[in-house]
Amino acid sequence: MKTESTNDPLQPGRMSTKLIQNLIDNYRQNHLSAINGALGIEDAHSIWFDLPKLKKFIAMIESEAAKTNPDITEEDLGIRFYYAAYPNGKNWDIMETHPVPEEYAERHTLVLIPTVKKSNEAGESDHYDFNFSGDRDSVALALNARGIKMDEDTIGENNGQIIPPYNSRGELF
C-alpha cells in the first residue's frame, strides 16, 4: 500500500469536497460523540495554525537537517501529526513552558514532530521521528520516540487554535 501522496501530481493537495465532508462527519458522529459522552466535555473538532508558523517550523526542520547531514533531501523529510490531549486542570502546571488558554484543558490537539526517512535492516524505507538536539555528527539521528531523553527539548509544534473553545465561524465543514 502506498503511504505517501497519491494525489494527481498536477493537482497536489486536492480532495473532493464530498470525501472531506464524509471523513469529518464520520469523525464527529463516531469518535467525537463518544469522547464527548465518555468525558462529559465538548472536545475540539479542529485546530488552526497560521501559515507563517507552519513555514517557520518547516524551515527549522530543513535547516537543522542540513546542518546534521547535507545529504538529507526534502523527500527524506516529513512531519508526523500525533493526536494528543491537553491535561486536565489538576495537571495544568506541565503547560507552564508552553502557555495556552486553560479553556483547552482535556481537549484534543495535535503535536507535530519532524520525521526523516531511513532504510531499515531489510532495506525498506521507514519514517522515523527525530530530534536534532542530540549529537549533530551522528547520521543516526533518526530516533524513535523512546530514544529521546525526557528532560531535553525536541523540535515539535503544537500551539494552534482549537475549536472549541474558539468560535467556528470560519469553518466550511
Q: Give the pLDDT band (50/70/90) at residue 1.
A: very low
Task: Tell which wins on pLDDT, 66 or 144.
Answer: 66
| pLDDT per residue as tens digits for the range 157-173 | 888 888 888 888 888 88
Find residue 163's DSSP bridge partners.
46
What per-residue confidence (pLDDT) applies to 152?
Answer: 64
Say if residues 36 and 30 touch (Cβ distance below 8 Å). no
Among 121, 173, 131, CA closest to 154: 131
The share of the chain scoring above pLDDT 90, in percent, equals 38
Please give the mean pLDDT across all residues of the chain: 81
Helix (H) or strand (E) holding 20: helix 17-26
What per-residue confidence (pLDDT) applies to 151?
Answer: 55
Task: Tell which wins on pLDDT, 138 or 147.
Answer: 147
What per-residue confidence (pLDDT) applies to 143?
Answer: 44
What per-residue confidence (pLDDT) applies to 145?
Answer: 41
| pLDDT per residue as tens digits for the range 86-127 | 988 788 888 888 888 888 989 999 999 898 888 778 888 888
Say if residues 82 and 114 touch (Cβ distance below 8 Å). no
Residue 136, pLDDT > 70, answer no
Task: Tell which wins on pLDDT, 143 or 70.
Answer: 70
Lowest mean pLDDT among 67-76, 119-128, 129-138: 129-138
- What Rg do the C-alpha atoms of the chain give, in angstroms? 18
